[in-house]
Amino acid sequence: MSDQTATPPLAGTRIIELAGIGPGPFAAMMLADMGAEVITVDRPGGNPWAVGGHGILFRSRRHIAVDLKTESGAHVVRRLCESADGLIETFRPGVAERLGVGPQDCREHNPNLVYGRMTGWGQSGPMASLPGHDINYIALTGALHQVGRKGGPPVPPLNLVGDFGGGGTFLAFGMLAGILSARAGHGGRVVDAAMIDGASALMAMFHSYRAEGDFVEERGANLLDTGAFFYDVYETRDGKWVSIGAIENQFWTELCDVLDLPDSMTRDHLDPTRWDEYRKILADRIAQSDRDELDRAFAGRNTCYAPVLTLSETVEHPHHRARDTFVTVDDVVQPAPAPRFDGRPPTSPRPRRAPGADTLEVLKDTGFSSTEIESLLADGVVDSTP
């Protein structure tokens, strides 16, 4: 088995991140978790919006503070790009160009640079320049419409589908594809990672169902949206919840055995005309037990059952503890890097550093002379936090 710290898969890859919030930092975190060297360019003093809730997203980076509103600051970023494989920015379309750090500006210094752009609406189209957040982007893709119960309103699934699933994850994927292309001799690329594109791609299977006539656009009426009683969550006697996903016959039959359900339910659970009737029977049976009792009853059984855990319960679950799914960094419990390579996380996360904590080191590594660095500090172009 290979050494998890010696050769992470992206060792030798350098990414410049123009600090933003949400999906941009998440993409950079994914790349840093895989061993890429990520240099985050903060504004002097940091971004107040990137404090609460963003600490883990900025792990495992070096931080340099640069005033991008100055030409000298833009020049610093362009110099950083000379030795980088990629750059990530999360501005609205046109902002990076106005600052002098757009794709053309940076690729003049490095034609093999992969320039990643993270937006909600994309770099083109009539809505490209408008503001928005995850809830707006997934609303436009149809994803939000389909999440919720029958007869109820759409339910925002946190900001997982737009920001992190359709946004940051697709940006990281696009960056890797672009870097592979550049290393194959095809030159740098501009990655237009729009959350509306990524979230739409996540809906590919449901577009397929719709094309085949196996999907209706009513919430809570399909196989995977709580329409089917055997793919849903149920409340236990002690007010907690469990999840049931016993779609296939063999799993459903064993679940019926565990819960001692009526024989008729083992034969026609896929018949939609019986779903409302069977939902009540299943709910009543589950409500007779505490969640811990059900956990014990289902342990080791092939039933597609799992308790619905809170975040605090999650980190203590025996399966996560056995796999070290979570790690503690500076007393902060957080997800370990994923996916694993050779059975292990590829790196050990490092805590977030303060904006400007690595300014002097990064500038020296980039080739700035002591005189240049002193001038940049004196003019307020860069900031160094002890």
CA atoms within 13 A on the CB side of 144: 19
Please give the structure tokens belonging to residue 195. Answer: 């959350």
Cβ(193)–Cβ(171) below 8 Å = yes
How far are the Cα atoms of 78, 297, 356 from residue 359, in angstroms, in the given order?
Answer: 15, 56, 5
Rounded-to-integer distance, Cα 148 and Cα 146, Å: 6
Q: What distance in Å separates the CA atoms of residue 160 and residue 167, rounded to the nearest whole number?
A: 9
Rounded Cα–Cα distance for residues 67 and 77 (Å): 10
- Encoded tokens for 39: 């240099």
163 is an active site residue: yes
Cα distance between residue 315 and residue 325, in whole Å: 8
Phi-psi region of 336 (alpha: psi -120 to 50; beta: other; left: phi over 0): beta
Query: Which residues neighbour 108 within 8 Å (Cβ) at sequence distance 6 or greater?
Result: 78
Question: Which of the following is catalytic: 109, 133, 317, 320?
Answer: 133
SS3 (DSSP) at 84: coil
Which among 133, 259, 246 has a CA at the least distance from the CA of 196?
133
Distance CA 345, CA 126 (A): 42
Q: What is the DSSP letter of 291?
A: H
Would residue 282 be called left, alpha or beta, if left means φ above 0 and alpha means ψ between -120 and 50 degrees? alpha
323's tokens: 């796999």
Q: Which of 33, 42, 163, 232 is catalytic?
A: 163
Q: How many CB atoms lie within 10 A of CB 316?
A: 11
d(CA 173, CA 361): 29
Q: Is 342 a catalytic residue?
A: no
**Quick count: other Cβ atoms within 10 Å of Cβ 152?**
10
Task: Give the Cα separation of 155 and 43 in Å (integer).
Answer: 35
Cα-Cα-Cα-Cα dihedral sign, residues 189, 49, 157, 28: positive
Residues catalogued as catalytic: 133, 163
